[in-house]
Amino acid sequence: MTSASPTLLDDSLFPSYGLFPVETPEEIFYLDEEARQFAERAVYESSASEKNVKRLVKSIFGRSEHGVLYRNSANTTANTTFSNRAANCLSLSIMAYALAEHAGLKATFYEVDIPEYWTRRDGFSLLNGHINLRVSVPNEPLLVSIGSSYADIDFDPQMIQSDFPRNAVPKERVLSMFYNNKGADALVANSYSRAYSYFRAAATLSPSLQQSWVNLGVLYRMVGAYEQAELAYKHALTINDSHLTAWENLAILYIHQERDEEAKAITEMVEARRRSNPYYHFILGEQDYDEGKYARAIEHYQRALRIDDSRHEILFSLARTYHQLGDVNNAQRYLEKAVRHSPNEQDRSRYMSKIAALASR
């Protein structure tokens, strides 16, 4: 009797995944009374038919109003984001969508086509996408726009002003991104059945969301289901064969399977394509920093800066690493550069406080 062939979604590997139900769309976009009143105060002028789009944006970010701050790990529902006043680009967009919709505005999600960009968390290198939102006054005869008729909402104003293409995406894809992010949280926490529940929901709702298939492959590999992992990675590559993270994970899988020649060929191809991406060198520097290899980390950060010298996170990492080496002058110099290139007040304040701490020594 032959064993069953591997499948893309293999529930038998995680029989308890049903104990971890994912949030419903209604739960994700729900707003309580306080949040709904906030939306009305921000948008309505003298009546509900007079709408001020720009004031919604100012109210979300303004310290005197709501003052949402950036937190990469804040994969939260609209109402939790509102209560915590902390968000990443996805949870900010979800909250802003819910607020705008309640106040009678039109809201459209946009996925931004950015180069590969990673962050380090709990020893994992996590690939970040980027999403933002446009809110506008509906074109209806009884509605009046006060000031501009639309506004874009994004933590990073450079993203709005950049040449990166962006595409409008439906609400279902955003829900899948939310599930995918929650699955990554569970994966980092070694909660594999919970991770499968989220990745399964993401892949089922939006089968074209490539990253959910890649993450499923990672999960399969971590539980030793190598055939399923290879199937998931290769399926991701049928969606877009230029997805280097899928190729890289396939190479890692082949190394686990001692398919060294196949792994070597893929790794060389991936590295050749990534050399022009500053974030590739940045994440190598972050990995060396985590391991205490500060001189090597600086080499990687400097390579990243030679490609793009305007990214505040790279400049800050250089400052942090020089500080570890006792080079206060270079630490202060790169901190000052990080301040100049910071996209928001939160990062500027953080860097300024570190400069003040260095100066006081």
What percent of the chain shows pLDDT beyond 90? 55
- Domains assigned to the chain: 24-169 (3.10.620), 182-273 (1.25.40.10), 278-359 (1.25.40.10)
pLDDT-derived band at 19, boundaries 50, 70, 90:
very high
Residue 312, both tokens: 């505040």
Per-residue model confidence (pLDDT) at position 64: 47
Per-residue model confidence (pLDDT) at position 129: 76
Report the chain's mean pLDDT, rounded to a whole number.
86
> Would the pLDDT of 3 be above 50?
no
Q: pTM for this one?
A: 0.78
Q: 72-99: per-residue pLDDT in tens?
A: 889 999 999 999 999 999 999 999 999 9
Across the range 98-118, mean pLDDT stands at 86
Per-residue model confidence (pLDDT) at position 91: 96
Q: Which span out of 63-77, 104-118, 219-233 was modeled with the highest average pLDDT?
A: 219-233
**Cα separation of 62 and 66, whole Å?**
6
Q: 273-308: per-residue pLDDT in tens?
A: 888 888 889 888 988 998 999 999 999 999 999 998
> Would the pLDDT of 244 be above 80?
yes
For 62, phi then psi, to 5°, come to -65, 130
Is the CB of residue 218 less than 8 Å from the CB of residue 210?
Answer: no
Q: 134-181: per-residue pLDDT in tens?
A: 998 877 655 555 666 778 888 765 555 555 678 999 999 999 999 999
Per-residue model confidence (pLDDT) at position 284: 87
* DSSP class per residue in 148-189: -SEEEE-S-HHHHHSS--EEEE-HHHHHHHHHHHHHHHHHHT
Across the range 125-141, mean pLDDT stands at 76
Per-residue model confidence (pLDDT) at position 125: 53
Of residues 68 and 174, more confidence is placed in: 174
Q: 311-352: per-residue pLDDT in tens?
A: 888 999 999 999 999 999 999 999 889 888 887 777 777 777
Per-residue model confidence (pLDDT) at position 6: 65
> Would the pLDDT of 123 be above 60?
no
Of residues 175 and 272, more confidence is placed in: 175
Of residues 215 and 123, more confidence is placed in: 215
> Would the pLDDT of 35 be above 80?
yes
pLDDT-derived band at 61, boundaries 50, 70, 90:
confident
**What are the helix (H) ranges across the chain?**
25-29, 33-43, 53-61, 78-84, 89-102, 157-161, 171-188, 192-205, 210-222, 226-239, 244-256, 260-274, 278-290, 294-307, 312-324, 328-341, 345-359
Q: What is the dihedral of CA 29, 31, 35, 37, to 10 degrees?
A: 120
**Cα separation of 285 and 298, whole Å?**
7
Residue 56, both tokens: 């919604």
